Protein backbone atom coordinates (compact mmCIF):
# COMPACT_ATOMS: atom_id res chain seq x y z
CA UNK A 1 0.00 0.00 0.00
CA UNK A 2 2.75 2.44 0.86
CA UNK A 3 4.30 1.76 -2.53
CA UNK A 4 1.04 2.80 -4.27
CA UNK A 5 0.82 6.00 -2.21
CA UNK A 6 4.30 7.02 -3.37
CA UNK A 7 3.89 5.85 -6.96
CA UNK A 8 0.62 7.68 -7.71
CA UNK A 9 1.88 11.24 -7.03
CA UNK A 10 5.12 10.46 -8.86
CA UNK A 11 3.21 9.22 -11.91
CA UNK A 12 0.98 12.32 -11.91
CA UNK A 13 4.04 14.57 -11.67
CA UNK A 14 5.65 12.86 -14.66
CA UNK A 15 2.48 13.15 -16.76
CA UNK A 16 1.99 16.83 -15.94
CA UNK A 17 5.60 17.70 -16.73
CA UNK A 18 5.18 16.40 -20.31
CA UNK A 19 2.94 19.29 -21.35
CA UNK A 20 4.27 21.98 -23.69
CA UNK A 21 3.64 25.10 -21.65
CA UNK A 22 0.43 26.51 -20.21
CA UNK A 23 -2.71 24.63 -21.15
CA UNK A 24 -6.23 25.94 -21.11
CA UNK A 25 -8.41 24.36 -18.48
CA UNK A 26 -11.50 22.62 -19.81
CA UNK A 27 -14.37 24.65 -18.52
CA UNK A 28 -17.91 23.31 -18.64
CA UNK A 29 -19.31 26.79 -17.83
CA UNK A 30 -18.93 27.70 -21.51
CA UNK A 31 -20.43 26.20 -24.64
CA UNK A 32 -19.70 26.93 -28.31
CA UNK A 33 -22.35 28.91 -30.16
CA UNK A 34 -23.97 26.39 -32.55
CA UNK A 35 -22.84 26.62 -36.18
CA UNK A 36 -26.41 27.12 -37.42
CA UNK A 37 -26.91 30.20 -35.21
CA UNK A 38 -26.06 33.45 -36.95
CA UNK A 39 -25.40 36.11 -34.33
CA UNK A 40 -26.38 39.66 -35.37
CA UNK A 41 -23.39 41.99 -35.25
CA UNK A 42 -25.31 44.22 -32.81
CA UNK A 43 -25.14 41.45 -30.17
CA UNK A 44 -21.35 41.25 -30.53
CA UNK A 45 -20.74 44.99 -30.23
CA UNK A 46 -19.43 45.90 -26.79
CA UNK A 47 -16.70 45.51 -24.20
CA UNK A 48 -15.06 42.18 -23.32
CA UNK A 49 -12.76 41.55 -20.34
CA UNK A 50 -10.03 38.89 -20.11
CA UNK A 51 -11.00 36.30 -17.47
CA UNK A 52 -8.85 35.30 -14.49
CA UNK A 53 -8.13 31.78 -15.80
CA UNK A 54 -6.50 33.26 -18.91
CA UNK A 55 -4.55 35.74 -16.79
CA UNK A 56 -3.13 32.91 -14.68
CA UNK A 57 -2.08 30.84 -17.70
CA UNK A 58 -0.32 33.82 -19.31
CA UNK A 59 1.25 35.05 -16.03
CA UNK A 60 -0.67 38.33 -15.97
CA UNK A 61 -1.51 40.12 -12.72
CA UNK A 62 -5.18 40.08 -11.67
CA UNK A 63 -4.98 43.87 -11.41
CA UNK A 64 -4.25 44.38 -15.12
CA UNK A 65 -7.19 45.78 -17.11
CA UNK A 66 -7.18 43.86 -20.38
CA UNK A 67 -10.15 44.53 -22.63
CA UNK A 68 -11.38 44.22 -26.18
CA UNK A 69 -14.02 46.59 -27.46
CA UNK A 70 -15.80 45.53 -30.65
CA UNK A 71 -17.26 48.50 -32.48
CA UNK A 72 -19.83 48.59 -35.26
CA UNK A 73 -17.45 50.40 -37.65
CA UNK A 74 -15.36 47.19 -38.07
CA UNK A 75 -12.80 48.38 -35.51
CA UNK A 76 -11.64 46.36 -32.53
CA UNK A 77 -9.92 48.34 -29.78
CA UNK A 78 -7.54 46.32 -27.61
CA UNK A 79 -6.62 48.03 -24.34
CA UNK A 80 -3.54 46.10 -23.28
CA UNK A 81 -3.39 42.77 -25.05
CA UNK A 82 -1.38 39.59 -25.27
CA UNK A 83 0.92 39.50 -28.30
CA UNK A 84 -0.03 36.25 -30.06
CA UNK A 85 3.51 35.82 -31.42
CA UNK A 86 5.29 36.04 -28.05
CA UNK A 87 2.46 35.45 -25.52
CA UNK A 88 3.70 38.57 -23.66
CA UNK A 89 1.48 41.39 -22.39
CA UNK A 90 1.67 44.58 -24.46
CA UNK A 91 0.74 47.57 -22.33
CA UNK A 92 -0.69 49.70 -25.10
CA UNK A 93 -3.97 50.52 -26.78
CA UNK A 94 -4.39 49.58 -30.44
CA UNK A 95 -7.20 49.91 -32.95
CA UNK A 96 -7.44 46.99 -35.37
CA UNK A 97 -9.76 46.04 -38.22
CA UNK A 98 -11.86 42.89 -37.80
CA UNK A 99 -13.91 40.80 -40.18
CA UNK A 100 -17.32 39.41 -39.36
CA UNK A 101 -19.01 36.61 -41.32
CA UNK A 102 -21.30 33.59 -41.08
CA UNK A 103 -21.29 30.32 -43.00
CA UNK A 104 -23.41 27.23 -42.48
CA UNK A 105 -20.27 25.07 -42.30
CA UNK A 106 -18.20 27.01 -39.77
CA UNK A 107 -20.74 29.29 -38.06
CA UNK A 108 -20.47 32.93 -37.03
CA UNK A 109 -16.92 34.22 -36.86
CA UNK A 110 -14.89 37.25 -35.96
CA UNK A 111 -11.42 37.38 -37.41
CA UNK A 112 -8.72 39.88 -36.43
CA UNK A 113 -5.38 38.61 -37.84
CA UNK A 114 -3.30 41.30 -36.15
CA UNK A 115 -4.68 40.37 -32.72
CA UNK A 116 -4.29 36.61 -32.94
CA UNK A 117 -1.51 36.05 -35.47
CA UNK A 118 -3.82 34.50 -38.06
CA UNK A 119 -5.50 32.18 -35.55
CA UNK A 120 -9.22 32.11 -34.87
CA UNK A 121 -11.65 33.78 -32.51
CA UNK A 122 -14.25 31.29 -31.33
CA UNK A 123 -17.66 32.42 -30.13
CA UNK A 124 -19.07 30.83 -26.97
CA UNK A 125 -21.87 31.41 -24.48
CA UNK A 126 -21.36 31.34 -20.73
CA UNK A 127 -24.08 28.92 -19.60
CA UNK A 128 -25.18 30.69 -16.41
CA UNK A 129 -26.12 34.01 -18.05
CA UNK A 130 -25.63 33.55 -21.83
CA UNK A 131 -22.85 36.15 -21.88
CA UNK A 132 -21.05 36.05 -25.22
CA UNK A 133 -17.45 34.95 -24.80
CA UNK A 134 -14.56 35.27 -27.26
CA UNK A 135 -11.94 32.54 -27.33
CA UNK A 136 -8.87 34.06 -29.00
CA UNK A 137 -6.62 31.21 -30.10
CA UNK A 138 -2.86 31.74 -29.86
CA UNK A 139 -0.52 29.61 -31.95
CA UNK A 140 2.19 27.52 -30.27
CA UNK A 141 5.43 29.24 -29.39
CA UNK A 142 8.54 27.86 -31.15
CA UNK A 143 9.29 24.42 -29.74
CA UNK A 144 5.78 23.88 -28.39
CA UNK A 145 3.32 21.40 -29.81
CA UNK A 146 0.05 23.10 -28.79
CA UNK A 147 -1.31 26.62 -28.79
CA UNK A 148 -3.64 28.04 -26.18
CA UNK A 149 -6.44 30.60 -25.99
CA UNK A 150 -7.45 33.75 -24.17
CA UNK A 151 -11.04 33.95 -22.95
CA UNK A 152 -12.72 37.38 -23.06
CA UNK A 153 -16.21 37.67 -21.52
CA UNK A 154 -18.66 40.39 -22.61
CA UNK A 155 -19.48 42.83 -19.84
CA UNK A 156 -21.56 45.43 -21.72
Compute the mean pLDDT over every residue in the chain, rounded to the nearest whole number.
Answer: 80
pLDDT for position 49: 95
Contact predicate 22/57, CB 8 Å:
yes
pLDDT for position 39: 87
pLDDT for position 20: 39
DSSP state string for the chain: -HHHHHHHHHHHHHHHHTS-S--PPP-TTEEEPPTT-PPPHHHH-EEEEE-HHHHHHTT--TT---EEEE-TTSEEEEEEEE-TTT--EEEEEEEEE-EEEEETTTEEEEE-HHHHTT--EEEEEETTT--EEEEEEEPPPTT-S--EEEEEEE--
pLDDT for position 5: 47
pLDDT for position 21: 39
Q: Which residues of the chain have pLDDT under 50?
A: 2-25
pLDDT for position 4: 44
Amino acid sequence: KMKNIILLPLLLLILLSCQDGPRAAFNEEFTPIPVKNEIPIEKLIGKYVLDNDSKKRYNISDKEAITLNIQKNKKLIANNYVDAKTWKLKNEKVELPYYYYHSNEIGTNIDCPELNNGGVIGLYYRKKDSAITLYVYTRPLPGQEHGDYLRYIKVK
